Amino acid sequence: MIGKKMEKALNEQVNAEMYSAYLYLSIESYFKSLNLNGFANWMRVQTQEEMFHAMKMYDYLIERGGRILLKKIEGPQTEWKSPLDAFKTVSKHEQKVTGLINNLVDLAIEEKDHATNSFLQWFVTEQVEEEANADELVKQLKLMENAPGGMFMLDRELAQRVFTPPASAGTA
């Protein structure tokens, strides 16, 4: 049985993960408007990953005897100055999510909830990858600021990304 404090915190994180999906869907729409379909594809895959994260937490909370209480998802940003600006938004957002996950781990430790602490370690590792991916794309876009042809090469590369649920798709 999960404690009330942890239940509340995980509910908030489910909302945060769904917001992440909503944000990336918004960025996908922005890229579609620029005819950068590869960039849009990257964001669609990112949206799917965030929904996977939300559902992983959702399932875990139910498995532990908690209750999901869905709340309003705030509307995301809808305009960016450039593809670089959009990916800076992604990078900053992933850093924020890392902080939220770290806070959950801290709470699990404080509550002596070893099962939740163990469960959250998957997300800790995942956030390292999420931040690295976003940071790499920011750096690549900065390098090609004066070489617009590189944007189209990167667009083709990003079109190849496919969502693959992690092998350990279970909740624990």
pLDDT recorded at residue 170: 52
Mean per-residue pLDDT, 130-150: 93
Q: Structural domains in the chain?
A: 4-71+79-158 (1.20.1260.10)
pLDDT recorded at residue 146: 80
Answer yes or no: is pLDDT of 101 > 90. yes
pLDDT-based confidence at 172, cuts 50/70/90?
very low
Contacts 24+ apart (CB under 8 A), 56-59: 56/122, 56/169, 56/171, 57/10, 57/13, 57/14, 57/17, 58/14, 59/171
In whole angstroms, what is the distance from residue 36 CA to residue 2 CA? 44
Looking at residue 74, its amino acid is E
In whole angstroms, what is the distance from residue 67 CA to residue 86 CA? 35
User: What pLDDT, in 10s, does the model give residues 67-99?
Assistant: 999 999 999 999 999 999 999 999 999 999 999
User: What pLDDT, in 10s, does the model give residues 10-63?
Assistant: 999 999 999 999 999 999 999 999 999 999 999 999 999 999 999 999 999 999
In whole angstroms, what is the distance from residue 154 CA to residue 137 CA? 9
Mean per-residue pLDDT, 134-162: 93
Residue with tokens 């890229």: 31
Residue 67: count of CB within 10 angstroms of its CB: 9
Could you give the residue ranges of the DSSP H alpha helices within the chain?
A: 4-33, 37-63, 83-110, 114-143, 148-158
In whole angstroms, what is the distance from residue 170 CA to residue 19 CA? 22
pLDDT recorded at residue 168: 63
Residue 66: count of CB within 10 angstroms of its CB: 20
pLDDT recorded at residue 148: 79
